[in-house]
């Protein structure tokens, strides 16, 4: 297809497609003449991936370049390629070199071992969790994260990973991983807040609303 058709099908403006071509995010089309190139399904798929990384993952262009390079390097095993995308989605955490940090990292590693998880030492989520543990300890909060680890472990094993099409083209698998990680993560967070509101109402006796025949008056829902 011509660039105008690629633009129409993907919803990405021509000027933006040209920018992606210049930046090397999108592979060049097959050159038909000096000013004519031909694009195919792989270009459409790549545009979808770039938009997902940009709009849903909110990745900077430099990070998108790294992910796209990993997708294109077919010598990389699938797990490494997906890991590159997954790691790019994580906020950067500055490693500290304090006793507190070392102790928090030990606690995180004990948790990982207790669940039997297979995690590379450089996983950004490992450092992120250690930083959160440091913060919790500063504030005197209890750091029993086992129930949290168990809850997400079940969710990931029984539901989430079934959505990743591991045998689809590499672009498609990465896209599913990025969308899944970010959007279901946002949904999970919103659902947790809803559950908190509901349970807080229940414990404080403002829910459920009194049935019409209820004799005891309860506080109205806030």
Q: Show contacts with its own copies in window 34-93 (CB under 8 A).
A: 52, 56, 77-80, 82-83, 86, 90
Residue 147, classified by CB atoms within 10 Å of its CB into exposed (0-12), middle (13-18) or buried (19+), is exposed
- DSSP single-letter state for residue 33: E
| Binding status of residue 194 toward its own copies by CB under 8 A | yes
Q: Which of 119, 168, 214, 218 binds its own copies (CB under 8 A)?
A: 119
33 forms beta bridges with 36
Q: Which of 42, 200, 214, 218 binds its own copies (CB under 8 A)?
A: 200
3-state secondary structure of 30: strand
SS3 175: helix
Give me the half-sphere count of Cα atoms (radius 13 Å) on the Cβ side of residue 208.
Answer: 4
Write down the least CB distance from residue 173 to its own copies, Å: 10
Taking CB under 8 A as the criterion, the residue among 60, 168, 197, 218 binding its own copies is: 197
Residues in 169-188 at the binding interface with its own copies, rule: CB under 8 A: 179-181, 183-188
Which of 14, 102, 166, 169 is in the footprint of its own copies by CB under 8 A?
166
């Amino acid at each position: 297809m011509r660039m105008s058709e690629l633009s129409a099908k993907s919803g990405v403006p021509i000027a933006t497609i040209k920018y992606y071509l210049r930046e090397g995010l999108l592979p060049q089309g097959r050159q038909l003449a000096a000013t004519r190139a031909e694009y195919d399904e792989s270009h459409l798929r790549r545009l979808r991936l770039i938009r997902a990384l940009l709009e849903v993952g909110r990745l900077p262009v430099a990070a998108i370049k790294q992910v796209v390079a990993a997708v294109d390097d077919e010598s990389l095993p699938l797990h490494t390629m997906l890991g590159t995308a997954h790691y790019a989605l994580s906020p950067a955490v500055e490693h500290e070199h304090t006793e507190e940090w070392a102790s928090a990292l030990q606690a995180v590693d004990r948790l990982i071992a207790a669940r039997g998880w297979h995690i590379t030492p450089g996983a950004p989520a490992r450092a992120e969790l250690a930083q959160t543990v440091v913060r919790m300890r500063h504030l005197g909060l209890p750091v029993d994260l086992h129930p949290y680890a168990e809850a997400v472990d079940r969710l990931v094993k029984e539901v989430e990973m079934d959505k990743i099409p591991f045998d689809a083209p590499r672009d498609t698998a990465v896209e599913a991983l990025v969308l899944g990680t970010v959007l279901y993560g946002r949904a999970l967070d919103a659902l947790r807040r809803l559950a908190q509101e509901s349970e807080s109402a229940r414990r404080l006796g403002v829910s459920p609303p009194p049935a019409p025949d209820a004799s005891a008056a309860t506080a109205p829902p806030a």
